[in-house]
Chain A
Amino acid sequence: QKEVEQDPGPLSVPEGAIVSLNCTYSNSAFQYFMWYRQYSRKGPELLMYTYSSGNKEDGRFTAQVDKSSKYISLFIRDSQPSDSATYLCAMSATGFQKLVFGTGTRLLVSP
């Protein structure tokens, strides 16, 4: 079993929809949780960062962490075609330990 599980998709939604992306993990020591966006043939780009539990909002993006369920989510409101990309979750136990990535979920937002 992988430490971090993520549905690879693809997830297809119409423009304007609310998108929910999720990851589950098995290592209860994880405390740092990140979401990256990766466009085709580009490097991952950091979108959201959360330390420990709770919610964080940035514009149309909201990240949630539920440590009791070992479950993290990224919500995208009013999705746009430009949001079409692969979304990777990543997490680590401490600031000095390696990030463990999910496989990524491919999102397609159609006009």
Chain B
Amino acid sequence: EAGVVQSPRYKIIEKKQPVAFWCNPISGHNTLYWYLQNLGQGPELLIRYENEEAVDDSQLPKDRFSAERLKGVDSTLKIQPAELGDSAVYLCASSLSGRPDTQYFGPGTRLTVL
């Protein structure tokens, strides 16, 4: 069974440019998560989807970050405009609803903002 797929794996952009990350979750997983991981830190939740609905986006900086999950499957996270402090790894994960023991992570997208 395929795991969580993310692309691109690496992205280097200049500050003030837009950037987008894509995630394809494990088939059948209703819940999708986007996390931010800074160097030497644990992942921090940005947004959680149950099917198509964003049920927890309290940590998402809505002035520059946006996310969508079309048809309750794939998801895209966008930053516009990017700032230097956005350099981090962006992780996507998916799970069955209400089952944190089934949460699996993708390999992440490493973003560098110059």
Chain A interface (Cβ within 8 Å of chain B)?
4, 6, 8, 32, 34, 36, 41-46, 49, 51, 88, 90, 92, 94-96, 98-99, 101-104
Contact = CB atoms under 8 A, between A and B. Distances in A.
Contacts of B99: 95
Interface of B: 4, 33, 40-45, 48, 56, 91, 93, 97-101, 103-108, 110
Nearest to A99: B100
Given A95-B98, A98-B48, A8 B40 contact: yes
A103 B100 contact: no
A43 B108 contact: yes
7 nearest A-B pairs in the assembled complex, by CB-CB distance: A101-B42, A43-B105, A95-B98, A49-B101, A98-B45, A44-B105, A43-B107
B105 A92 contact: no
A45 B107 CA distance: 10
Given A43-B4, A43-B91, A43-B106, A103 B101 contact: no
B90 to A, nearest CB: 11
A93 B37 CA distance: 21
6 contacts: A6-B42, A36-B105, A45-B105, A90-B100, A96-B97, A98-B56
Nearest to B104: A46
A6 B93 CA distance: 22
Contact of A104 (B42, B44, B56, B100): B42
Most buried by A among B98, B101, B104: B101
Most buried by B among A41, A90, A99: A99
